[in-house]
Chains A and B, each alone.
Chain A
Amino acid sequence: MSQTTHKTRTLIAAIGDEDTITGLLLAGIGDIDTHQRANFFVVDSKTTQEQIEETFTSFTKRKDIAVILINQHVAEDIRGILDEYKAAFPTVLEIPSKDHPYDPSKDSVLKRVQLLFGD
């Protein structure tokens, strides 16, 4: 089966705390386009829920982003908007942070599987 790859949708975006974003930028995902739009967003104690939602929504509307990585504890703050998000692209993945290790009970992927089996 031939696969048509989408050459413009290549970026990995990230929403998370400072250490997570620093680490992911070191890994090379950071990009600032010609309109000065960054594909990453640092969440700190002063960041409001509206700002996080606005950033998430703007990332989902961009045509150059393929994957959005978001800290699990940040994802909890915008759980409503995340649960409503059903598009194939960009794919959203929750990742742990330094201070909030991965919690399988809050993983939306596994929760969906549990719903399928009626748990």
Chain B
Amino acid sequence: MSVEAEHSQPILQSYVGFDSITSQIEKKLLKRGFQFNVMVVGQSGLGKSTLINTIFASHLIDSKGRIQPDEASRQTVEIHSFTEAIVENGVKLRLNIVDTPGYGDQVNNENCWEPIIKYIKDQHSSFLRKELTAMRDRFIQDTRIHCCLFFISPTGHSLKPIDIVVLKKLTEVVNVVPVIAKSDSLTIEERIAFKHRIKEEMKFHNINLYPYASDEDDEQDSALNDSIQDLIPFAVVGSEKTIVVDGKTVRGRQNRWGVINVENENHCEFIHLRNFLTRTHLQDLIETTAMIHYETFRSKQLLALKENGQQ
């Protein structure tokens, strides 16, 4: 070999066959199935349950709004978790949805985020413990939250103080994707101004949202990430009901003065959110949780254990 060959890759002289590793991995993964854990956080009445049902095109969770007058409103934030397995084209997805009813609903909402942060950390902690045991499973069941959808109320002005505090705390432990709920109450100009304002506020308060820029990204990836960053927060409308528009049945909302088509890009950004979550960034979300958030948690825990041991 000449000196130049040390700087460039060796050229294969005949077909080896290791390019089939991708299909081998795929077969293995198909057998195993995928696990995706998503959490929804937001004030009551913003359409969280409806949006989840719309994204996964099935009735997975029920709305938890207070309907009866003699029902008392929740005094603490509860954590409800549902697991469903959905199958599409032979690919099995075990979906775990964590709902947080009661967030931001009381008169005094101080520390209402604590049960949520605790839950996320608990999942990391139980995974760490399973990893550290001497006899551990070959494949540890992953209950860590891969994505947290944060619902912003469509005021049209700016983020609320409670939103800012909670976002700061959440972005430290989980991938946060902010979403403008019920965005059919904003006209297009209002929506643009609102998004601009939210992005300014996030930057001002140093809130780091997913997707994170990394050095390993190639051009295509960074272009995609940039376009996502432009769209965030997604202005969405959710609907489980179907209506007929131009002869086609679509999911949407019907009023006396207009019909909103959830899957129409000009009406709302639901399509973008769904593609982002399921078609383009699903694997990345799972990986980022394992590589960034979990590792941060793990190193903090182990350092703390070491210090405690030394004392």
Task: Say whether A and B bind each other.
Answer: no
Give the B-binding residues of A (Cβ under 8 A): none
